């Protein structure tokens, strides 16, 4: 077989397709969604109900006439006024501020007051919180967690001067967290929270609430340490599901969770064992040796996975000799220079 060179004139070159946005153009904008509907058109809205009549479906279907600029909330209000007066849902401000109207529309967390309707919608309550009725969830699990994290500022020293000097740079992450409207979209979207009590991960919404004060340089480090120790923050899988659904567009992972992890690494270093181990290995050897990483993070606990270790060894996926000898890679010199010869601690 011959390889085709890009300069080969026999091959007509099509205009390139942008691979990283493939699928986005057709239907991935709110404007595109709205444009597909004309006033008077019927929407099919299936709402998950709590009280299901005998033989009925947990999803009750409604036909709703589309009006220009219709939001999910308008559709729910139309249903309550015209078809199901007993439908339970929450809303207050109707303008993306109070955070009470979040629901799942076609499997995605949205604010009902800010999301354009779609021709076919399945509306469900948020996940990961108990349902009180229909679309109304019990937020107390979240509120209790936030309260336990003591999300306020404590001062040991008196104010140095007034107004207290505080730079934009010092507040850049906390200010992002302060945009939170407590709508719980992220809490519903988080896959780790979705696993129930498997870990003690606090979840994105409580961490954002904590970030408002824990990332404030005026806060007492001892108090921040106490709060961070209760977060299980290193169980965040960095999937960015929370960021994807945040109606306030808070970069939750990069501007809240990661800065909080950095604080935890300073104040509660035992929580960041995995991070320090990885850093130490990269600094010494240039690249990650998976065997050494597991041994450093898990210690003797790693032997509990002896069967997998043997499987990996049999397929040549791990190399114990390299691990034991700590063989350096071609990147070791540069990594050592840029990260420093420290035992992983920043």
Count of CB atoms situated within 10 Å of the CB of 240: 14
Kindly state the smallest distance separating residue 223's Cβ from another protein, in Å: 21
Evaluate whether 93 touches 78 at the Cβ level (below 8 Å): no
Decide whether 29 or 50 has the Cβ nearer to another protein: 29
Among 122, 153, 297, 328, binds another protein (CB under 8 A): 297
Pairing of strands 108-111, 42-48: unpaired
Decide whether 32 or 147 has the Cβ nearer to another protein: 32
The residue range among 14-22, 83-91, 138-146, 222-230 that interacts with another protein, by the rule CB under 8 A, is 14-22
The 230-249 site mask, x for binding another protein (CB under 8 A), equals ----xxxxxxxx-xx----x
- Per CB under 8 A, 287 contacts another protein: yes
Decide whether 35 or 52 has the Cβ nearer to another protein: 35
Q: Is 70 left (phi over 0), alpha (psi -120 to 50) or beta?
A: beta
Decide whether 14 or 85 has the Cβ nearer to another protein: 14
What backbone torsions phi and psi does residue 14 show, to the nearest 5 degrees? -75, 160
Decide whether 156 or 307 has the Cβ nearer to another protein: 307
CA angle 71, 136, 73 (to 5 degrees): 10
Evaluate whether 240 touches 201 at the Cβ level (below 8 Å): no
Q: Which residues of 52-73 are buried (b: 16+ CB within 10 A; e: fewer)?
A: eeeeeeeebebebebbeebbbb
Kindly state the smallest distance separating residue 308's Cβ from another protein, in Å: 7
CA angle 194, 30, 36 (to 5 degrees): 120
Decide whether 13 or 85 has the Cβ nearer to another protein: 13
- Per CB under 8 A, 210 contacts another protein: no
* Contact set for another protein, span 327-346 (CB under 8 A): 329-331, 333-335, 337-339, 346
CA angle 127, 132, 134 (to 5 degrees): 75
Helices (H), the chain: 24-27, 30-35, 72-82, 140-148, 168-177, 185-189, 204-214, 221-228, 241-245, 258-267, 273-285, 290-298, 306-314, 320-325, 332-339
Kindly state the smallest distance separating residue 286's Cβ from another protein, in Å: 5
Kindly state the smallest distance separating residue 110's Cβ from another protein, in Å: 10
- Per CB under 8 A, 37 contacts another protein: no
Decide whether 9 or 163 has the Cβ nearer to another protein: 9
* Contact set for another protein, span 64-103 (CB under 8 A): none
- Per CB under 8 A, 315 contacts another protein: yes
Decide whether 108 or 155 has the Cβ nearer to another protein: 108
* Contact set for another protein, span 256-285 (CB under 8 A): 257-258, 261-262, 265, 272-279, 282
* Residue 184 burial (C-beta neighbours within 10 Å; 0-12, 13-18, 19+): buried
Kindly state the smallest distance separating residue 121's Cβ from another protein, in Å: 14
* Contact set for another protein, span 172-201 (CB under 8 A): 191-192, 195, 198-199
Handedness of CA 324, 330, 333, 336 (dihedral sign): negative
């Amino acid at each position: 077989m011959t390889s085709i060179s890009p300069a080969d004139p026999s091959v007509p070159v099509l205009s390139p397709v942008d691979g990283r946005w493939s699928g986005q153009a057709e239907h991935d904008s709110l404007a595109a969604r709205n444009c597909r509907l004309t006033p008077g058109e019927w929407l099919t809205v299936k709402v998950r109900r709590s009280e299901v009549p005998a033989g009925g479906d947990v999803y009750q279907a409604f036909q709703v006439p589309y009006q220009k600029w219709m939001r999910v909330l308008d559709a729910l209000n139309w249903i309550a006024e015209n078809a199901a007066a007993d439908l339970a849902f929450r809303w207050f401000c109707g303008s993306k501020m109070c955070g009470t109207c979040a629901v799942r529309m076609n499997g995605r967390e949205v604010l009902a007051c800010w999301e354009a309707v779609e021709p076919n919608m399945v509306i469900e309550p948020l996940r990961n919180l108990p349902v009180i009725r229909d679309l109304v969830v019990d937020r107390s699990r979240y509120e209790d967690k936030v309260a336990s994290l003591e999300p306020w500022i404590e001062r040991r020293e008196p104010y140095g001067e007034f107004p207290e000097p505080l730079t934009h740079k010092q507040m850049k992450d906390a200010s992002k967290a302060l945009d939170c409207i407590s709508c719980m979209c992220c809490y519903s979207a988080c896959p780790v929270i979705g696993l129930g009590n498997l870990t003690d991960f606090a979840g994105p919404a409580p961490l954002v609430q904590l970030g408002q004060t824990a990332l404030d340089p005026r806060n007492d480090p001892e108090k921040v340490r106490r709060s961070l120790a209760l977060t299980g923050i290193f169980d965040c899988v960095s999937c960015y599901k929370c960021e994807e659904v945040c109606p306030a567009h808070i970069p939750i992972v990069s501007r809240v969770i990661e800065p909080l992890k950095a604080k935890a690494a300073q104040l509660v270093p035992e929580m960041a064992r995995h991070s320090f181990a990885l850093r130490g290995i990269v600094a010494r050897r240039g690249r990650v040796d998976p065997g050494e990483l597991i041994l450093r993070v898990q210690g003797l606990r790693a032997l509990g996975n002896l069967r997998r270790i043997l499987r990996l060894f049999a397929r040549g996926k791990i190399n114990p000799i390299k691990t034991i000898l700590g063989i350096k890679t071609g990147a070791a010199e540069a990594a050592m220079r840029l990260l420093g010869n420290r035992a992983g601690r920043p």
